[in-house]
Amino acid sequence: MPYVMVEKPQIPSQQPVPAESTGPSRGSAPTSADVARQAGVSRATVSYVLNNTSAVRISEPTRRRVHEAAKELGYVPHAAARSLRAGHTRIVLMPAPDVPVGTLYSGFLNEFQWALSRLDYTAVQYGSVGVVGDDAARAWAELRPVAVLAPVGMGLRGIGVLQRSGAKAVITLGAEPVEGAHALIADHRAVGRVAAEHLRERGHHRIGVLMPREEGLDAFAAPRLAGIRETGAEAVALPVAYDEEHAADVVARMRESGLSAVFAYNDEYAMLLMRALQDAGIGIPDEVAVVGADDLMLGRLLRPRLTTVRLALPSGQELAEFVDRLVRTPAAEPEIRDVLGASLVRREST
């Protein structure tokens, strides 16, 4: 009669690994047993400490010993094995920027990634070339993320794919929430409204609005234009590329149309426009008032100093804690947060 030998699995105990056990052989990867032996604890304790398990109370001296032993041996947990056990990774996926990002966003992103790492998550920026919205969801789901900051354009179908793949928190980014997901609302119409309200107070009711031709920036420029129109101002769209020749062409069009005020999309475009205005002998703000956005340091160094719209984002720590809370409570009702604030910083260009 055929038979199969089955080795009975041993249940991890809380007893330390025997001291006489040998360490890792030369050239082999260290294991959790090696860490346990070095720290004088059980393999289960090593697992609890390195996986940051909150359900088991481990003393701080023991945690330090385990971390020191792992560092000395060069041991790191096997992410794939841990993912198989949990059904997901500790990855928080977010869209890779497909447009140039400025210092405001890059600084926020660095802080967010650092805060996630302190909570034992790995932040990964991800993008699929030529695949967007719901069609990108399957590619994202293959990585089995524990949380996703979904790219703009992902809808109900894509969110469902991610949730069924094991993502405990799916958070959309954009001006409107999507059914079934948490939402971070960043409504850029507020940026345009703040700029236009200031210019109207200064007596300008026809406002030129720079519309960058750079691919992808229309997702931010169009809502800002809409925000200006919401104030009742007459907004004149001025398409422009980011170079001096195009800026000079815009100045010529402004002269023809009699515009005396411009919202320049952001501070970088405002600086480009101001140089073109000055090259053409046009006074700022006597003949043309200029408003930017982002409140970059360079705008304060210009002469005249640049009036701008300061954007306020949540701190990276605050957003990381928000993601962690949603991961820990996957059955919670969808939560909606406004994350973009806008306020005017008045200087000399208006």
State mean pLDDT over 79-83.
54
Q: Which of 14-28, 98-112, 130-144, 278-292 has the highest mean pLDDT?
A: 278-292
pLDDT the model gives residue 142: 86
pLDDT the model gives residue 9: 43
pTM of the model: 0.73
Q: Over the stretch 27-48, which tens digit does the pLDDT of each residue have?
A: 577 888 899 999 999 988 888 8
Of 102-106, 148-152, 323-327, the range with the lowest mean pLDDT is 102-106
**Which pLDDT band holds residue 118 (cuts at 50, 70, 90)?**
confident
pLDDT the model gives residue 2: 43
Per-residue pLDDT at 200 exceeds 70: yes
Per-residue pLDDT at 53 exceeds 80: no
More confident residue, 301 or 6: 301
**3-state SS, residue 188:** coil
Q: What does R_g of the chain's alpha carbons equal in angstroms? A: 27
For residues 285 and 320, the answer to whether their CB atoms sit within 8 Å is: no
Q: Over the stretch 213-237, which tens digit does the pLDDT of each residue have?
A: 988 788 899 999 999 999 999 999 9
pLDDT the model gives residue 173: 86
Per-residue pLDDT at 185 exceeds 90: yes
**3-state SS, residue 248:** helix
Alpha-carbon distance of 194 to 192, in angstroms, equals 6
Q: What angle do CA 220, 150, 109 make, to 5 degrees?
A: 70
What are the Cα distances from residue 71, in Å, to 41, 68, 222, 277?
16, 5, 51, 59
What is the DSSP annotation of 44-80? HHHHHHHTT-SSS---HHHHHHHHHHHHHHT----HH
Tokens of 212: 């960058």
Amino acid identity, position 8: K
Residue 130 DSSP symbol: T
Tokens of 107: 């600084």
Alpha-carbon distance of 37 to 20, in angstroms, equals 9
Alpha-carbon distance of 16 to 167, in angstroms, equals 35
Residue 185 DSSP symbol: E
For residues 55 and 47, the answer to whether their CB atoms sit within 8 Å is: no
- For β-strands 261-263 and 234-240, DSSP reports them as unpaired
Per-residue pLDDT at 63 exceeds 70: yes
Q: How many CB atoms lie within 10 A of CB 297?
A: 8
Q: Over the stretch 237-250, which tens digit does the pLDDT of each residue have?
A: 999 999 999 999 99
For residues 320 and 117, the answer to whether their CB atoms sit within 8 Å is: no
For residues 302 and 270, the answer to whether their CB atoms sit within 8 Å is: no
Q: Which of 34-43, 90-99, 230-239, 312-321 has the highest mean pLDDT?
A: 230-239
